[in-house]
Amino acid sequence: MIEMSEKERFCNVCGVKLVLGENWYESIKKSHNYVCKKCINARSAQWQSKNREKRNENHRNSRYKHGVKPMSENRECAPFLGVYVAERVLANTFKDVKVMPYANPGYDFVCNKGKKIDVKSACISKQGNWMFTISKNKIADYFLCIAFDNRKNVNPLHIWLLPSDLVSDKIGTRISPSTIDKWDEYKLDITKTVRCCNKMKEIDI
């Protein structure tokens, strides 16, 4: 008995021949969807472009379903202080800054004087000090170091603007209450930072 070869199929959108395993997959075939992968992806991209809010909501729901929280709700994740809180402090404390995209190499924002500044945040450790990771960063001109009490209360206690030539050759800079006086010349007024964090806590953290 001679077996009949499967009927050739063509994409209903662009007309290209559908080849199973190349531009047409078993899951698509089973749904009797005669559209090639390229056209399906184009449709998806077009839908997402027109429905950004719904796309973001679906993405958030999927992450929640798999136990993944956004950094704004996950105080234990590394970016919570360094990105979520610190960037809001920047926007509300410093004037005319250009904030760089997340994970920008070497620095987080450019001040109104054109200086590249890398933001570092730390909570006081069990040893009673704050450790700011510098990672021998030679790109930034300054390091804005914000010292918090803990991740639960998120109370800023100190803020320093350290010049690069002071710390850029180090893996990290440790500041403790017993040595805090030596950093006085780099200390900034913390009033606006405290006010900003208090306002954030009233809203969402």
Last residue of a domain, one of 30, 49, 68: 68
* Cα–Cα distance list, 91 to 58, 83, 172 (Å): 29, 12, 25
| For residue 3, pLDDT beyond 50 | no
Q: What is the pTM of this model?
A: 0.58
Q: Decide: 143 and 134 in contact? Cβ < 8 Å.
A: yes
Residue 1 in any domain: the answer is: no
Last residue of a domain, one of 21, 47, 68: 68
Q: What is the pLDDT of residue 80?
A: 54
How many domains are there within the chain? 2
Q: What is the pLDDT of residue 79?
A: 52
Do 113 and 25 fall within a single domain?
Answer: no
| For residue 131, pLDDT beyond 90 | yes
Question: Which segment of 16-30, 33-47, 95-109, 187-201 scores lowest on mean pLDDT?
Answer: 187-201
Q: For residue 15, give its domain range.
A: 8-68
Give the percent of the chain with pLDDT over 70: 73
Residue 73 in any domain: the answer is: no
pLDDT band (50, 70, 90) for residue 72: very low
Do 84 and 146 fall within a single domain?
Answer: yes
Mean pLDDT calculated for residue range 76-105? 68
* Cα–Cα distance list, 133 to 80, 118, 146, 202 (Å): 15, 11, 12, 29
Last residue of a domain, one of 26, 49, 68: 68
